C-alpha cells in the first residue's frame, strides 16, 4: 500500500514500545482497517491521533505478538 501523501510504501515501524505500529493519513484509515479485518490482523487503533506534516494521522498498534512479515505482505498486496 502506498501512502497517499508521501507516495512511499507504507511500512510497519518495529520500534514501538507497545509493539509494531503503522501511521497513515486519516484518508487511508478506513482502508487499512478493512484490510486488517479481512486479513484477520489484530490491531488497536490509537484514539489519540498525532499531528503529522500534512495534518492528522491515524496510528494502528499491532501489538508485540504480531507476525510483522504477514501484515506487511497484506499492506504490500493492497493496490
Rg of the chain (C-alpha set):
12
Taking a C-beta distance cutoff of 8 angstroms, is the pair 61, 15 a contact?
A: no
Tens of pLDDT, residue by residue over 3-36, are 988 899 999 998 867 789 999 988 899 999 999 9
Taking a C-beta distance cutoff of 8 angstroms, is the pair 13, 21 a contact?
A: yes
Assigned architecture for domain 21-77 = 2-Layer Sandwich (3.30)
pTM for the whole structure: 0.84
Tens of pLDDT, residue by residue over 23-76, are 998 889 999 999 999 999 999 988 765 665 556 788 999 988 899 999 999 999
- For residue 60, the model assigns a pLDDT of 93
- For residue 38, the model assigns a pLDDT of 95
- For residue 73, the model assigns a pLDDT of 96
Amino acid at each position: 500500500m502506498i501512502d497517499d501523501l508521501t507516495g512511499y510504501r507504507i511500512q510497519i515501524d518495529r520500534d514501538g514500545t507497545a509493539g509494531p505500529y503503522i501511521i497513515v493519513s486519516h484518508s487511508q484509515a478506513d482502508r487499512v482497517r478493512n484490510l486488517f479485518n479481512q486479513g484477520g490482523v489484530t490491531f488497536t487503533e490509537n484514539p489519540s491521533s498525532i499531528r503529522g506534516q500534512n495534518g492528522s494521522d491515524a496510528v494502528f498498534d499491532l501489538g508485540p505478538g504480531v507476525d510483522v512479515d504477514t501484515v506487511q505482505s497484506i499492506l504490500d498486496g493492497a493496490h
